[in-house]
Amino acid sequence: MSVTEQVFFWVLGPLAVIAALGMVVARNAVHSALWLVVVMLCLGVFYVIESGPFIGLAQIIVYTGAIMMLFLFVLMLVGRDATDSLIEVLRGQRVAAVLIGLGFAGLIGAAFFRALDGRAAKGLDAANVNGNVQGIAAALFTRYVFAFEVTSALLIAAATGAMILAHIERRRDQKLSQPDRMRARFAPGVYPGPKAGPGVYATTTSVAAPGRLPDGRQTDRTYSPILPKRELTEAEAAPKHTEGR
């Protein structure tokens, strides 16, 4: 390993480990996704300095570009449920998992280190003599051409399956016709007109204050349910007589 590569390894390697730990520890799923992006970018740089520029750029484009965007899309669709629950269903599961993980890491890390310690890499300079992309293409379209073709079948099957799973089918009798929709809209007990804006007839311009109906009652329909309801009590709204003090 050259000095440059060592610098890259000792800067980006710990960063990747920290980001991976952050992904596991982060309570918010969006934060987890962003930590994972950091790990994937570090790995992409590793691939490039390990004389695999094609696989490194494919990592950045496919993983951080496409797959992580898909994750973020689904997170935004799932929405507020994204935070994790803190309840442990199996008691002691987290501690046991961490202990097993430490043991597993020690086992395979030590095994790999002993197997590969002192072994110099042959390097890819001979294989990359015509360029990395050309070398990969030469192997991919000769020896691995069958696997490559099967991959296309896999991708088509995955796309079709995702379309079927994401499709919402309504049965014919559940579909509402336009007259039915209009009848439901003007049915007794449903208010068809636009709702009053929040703060209308209220004593404050805050969007968290409910508006008032013509008879003076407050209505909960005028503000977003995710905002906390804010209405001062009589004592809070009364003059505080702070003048002149």
Partner 1 sequence: MQPGSYVVLAAILFTIGAVGVLIRRNAIVLFMCIELMLNAANLALVTFSRINGNLDGQIMAFFVMVVAAAEVVIGLAIIMSIFRSRRSASVDDANLLKY
CB 191 within 8 A of CB 220: no
HSE, CB side, 13 Å, CA atoms: give it for residue 65: 8
Identify residues 43-102 at the interface with partner 1 (CB under 8 A): 43, 46-47, 50-52, 54-55, 58-59, 62-63, 66-67, 70-71, 74-75, 77-78, 81-85, 89, 93-94, 97-98, 100-102
Which range of residues in 136-144, 191-199, 214-222, 223-231 is near partner 1 by CB under 8 A? Answer: 136-144
Beta-strand (E) ranges in 104-203? none
Which lies closer to partner 1 via its Cβ, residue 159 or residue 176? 159
Q: Which span sits near partner 1 by CB under 8 A: 135-143, 170-178, 200-208, 210-218?
A: 135-143
| Closest of 202, 238, 240 to residue 219, by C-alpha | 202
The helix/strand count (H/E) of the chain reads as 9, 2
Residues 226-245 that bind partner 1 (CB under 8 A): none
Residues 6+ away with beta carbon under 8 Å from 82? 28, 29, 30, 75
User: Counting Cβ atoms within 10 Å, is residue 219 exposed (0-12), middle (13-18) or buried (19+)?
Assistant: middle
Distance of closest approach, residue 221 Cβ to partner 1, in angstroms? 23
15 binding partner 1? (CB under 8 A): no
Give the rounded distance of the alpha carbon of 143 from its chain centre.
37
Nearer to partner 1, 8 or 223 (CB): 8
Nearer to partner 1, 41 or 202 (CB): 41
The answer to whether 210 and 218 are in contact (CB under 8 A) is: yes
* Residue closer to partner 1 (CB basis): 67 or 182: 67
User: Whole-angstrom Cα distance, residue 123 to residue 50?
Assistant: 9
Separation of alpha carbons 138 and 223, rounded Å = 63
Candidate residues 4, 91, 146, 166; the one interacting with partner 1 per rule CB under 8 A? 166
Site for partner 1 in 21-40 (CB under 8 A): 21, 23-24, 29, 32-33, 36, 39-40
Residues 93-132 that bind partner 1 (CB under 8 A): 93-94, 97-98, 100-102, 104-105, 108-109, 112-113, 115-124, 126-128, 132
